[in-house]
Structure 1
């Protein structure tokens, strides 16, 4: 029975909720942090940068796994937040497994990562409205390409890991007709 619950949790759809509270943008990823949730997070953060927000917190307490596109999106956003907003990105409530994934790609050198401990509650849970961001069934290849380029920019060792993905996505971009 516990296996059934475990496999159902792994198959649960990704959900991303966000709120702005007291000058901080809070984002909670639930389920699998993957390519489908990367685009909505990226677009939301870009809009918040334009609004002048500088502090960003991503809560991964309910995120059971992250794919390379999701992690690359976080890396790219951290770079943009630092450059465009002179701000910071912190990832909180990170499970040991997800810490290993982030460290394996060198993201812990770019992003402040706080391990799972006493869960920090998103302020929205105690008063402000928490908004759900829509997921993308088929995200644009540009989002996936930018995420993987950010991983390589973060850690040159990632170039060998993701070279095939980058080559494929660049080839796909070159063969698509201009719209």
Structure 2
């Protein structure tokens, strides 16, 4: 595998879904993680494990998607959790610098003998990527108020970009 290429795979067991992230998460990987996790949560998998053993670092969009997933599993019946497995020191530091490290359970154990299948990372449209980035950064701001100053300009730019991509219908 190319060192720059990111990969997402998943496995399920009763009540839980485990995602394995290999490489630095791309924008497409973040979107596919959100889509796949939403489907699995709707199917009753309220415990999400995210194996980050082979993930050297994360960006704010990926972290925002993780925050979205914590909110989604908390709304499930029964309420669930998101557990980050084998998150390295840099990833923990990145989560802490965004004020959200305490939103996740952390574990050092491996994902065991689950059988993983790859998630196909098909490119999303520009509008889909813009929407994903926008909602991820709004979730980061909602999760930790200090992020508002960090991401105010990003959110404003993405909102304007989304409006340019989808102009209102002409009459």
Query: TM-score normalised by the shorter chain: which range applies?
Result: 0.7 to 0.9
- CA distance in 1 between counterparts of 2:149 and 2:29 reads 25
Q: Which residue of 2 aligns with 1:159?
A: 148
**TM-score between both structures, scaled by the size of structure 1:** 0.84
Please report how far the alpha carbon of residue 84 of structure 1 lies from its aligned counterpart in structure 2 after TM superposition. 3.3
In the TM superposition, 1:90-101 aligns within 5 A as 90-101=83-94
- CA distance in 2 between counterparts of 1:70 and 1:172 reads 20
2:89 maps to 1:132:
no
Aligned partners of 1:102 and 1:108 also within 8 Å: yes
Please report how far the alpha carbon of residue 29 of structure 1 lies from its aligned counterpart in structure 2 after TM superposition. 0.4
SS at match of 1:160: helix
- CA distance in 2 between counterparts of 1:158 and 1:123 reads 38
Please report how far the alpha carbon of residue 137 of structure 1 lies from its aligned counterpart in structure 2 after TM superposition. 3.2
Structure 1 residues 66-108: Cα deviation after superposition (integer angstroms, max 9, x where no partner)? 1110111001111111123411110010100110001111111
Q: Which protein is richer in helix relative to its size?
A: 1
**TM-score between both structures, scaled by the size of structure 2:** 0.88
2:139 maps to 1:150:
yes
Seen in structure 2, the aligned counterparts of structure 1 residues 26 and 178 have a Cα distance that, compared at 3 Å, is farther
Aligned residue-pair number: 163
Runs of 5+ in structure 1 lacking a partner? Answer: 1-7
Q: Which residue of 2 aligns with 1:3?
A: none
